[in-house]
Amino acid sequence: MRMAGEATWTAPAPTDPEQACPIAPVVDIVFSRWTTPILWTLNMHGRQRFVELQRRITTITPKVLTQRLRQLERDGMVVRTYHPEVPPRVEYEISDLGRSLAPLFAQLAEWATTNLGKVDRARHDYDSGSAR
C-alpha cells in the first residue's frame, strides 16, 4: 500500500552498454590494437609512406598495418594520398579529426608517466599474494 506523496520505484530498464558508457565507441575507435601507435607516429612525424610507418612501428605486420590504415581512413582519422607515378606512391597523414585527439594522448602520456609505476607495484603485490 502506498502512502500519499510516496514515490514508487520501478526497476531500471536494461541499458545498452554504449549508452551506459558514452565513451565506449571512442575507445573502440581510438584504442583498438595498433591504432594508437599509428596515430601517434603520424602525429609526431607527419606524412609517411607505408614503408616508413612499418619501419617506425617495427612489431606490426604489413597485413595488419594495411587493415588498420584502411579502418583509420574509413573513420576519418587518416588521410591517404595516392600519387599516380611510376612506381606509384601512397602517403598517409593524420587528419584534423585524428589530430584533435592530441590533447587526449598528451593527458594519457602524462598519466602513464605518473602512474604506471604504481600499476606495476600493484600487480607485483597482487601476484605475490600480499594484496589479497
pLDDT tens-digit map of 91-103: 999 999 999 998 9
57 lies in some domain: yes
129 lies in some domain: no
The answer on pLDDT for 76 being more than 80 is: yes
What pLDDT band is residue 105 in, cutting at 50, 70 and 90? confident
Q: What is the pLDDT of residue 2?
A: 46
End-to-end CA distance of the chain: 46
What total of structural domains would you count in the chain? Answer: 1
- CATH, residue 90: 1.10.10.10
The answer on pLDDT for 79 being more than 80 is: yes
Q: What is the pLDDT of residue 71?
A: 95
96's CB contacts (< 8 A; 6+ apart) are none
70 lies in some domain: yes
Residue 77: phi and psi, rounded to 5, are -90, -25
132 lies in some domain: no
Parent domain of 26: 21-100
7 lies in some domain: no
117 lies in some domain: no
63 lies in some domain: yes
The answer on pLDDT for 40 being more than 80 is: yes
106 lies in some domain: no
pTM: 0.73
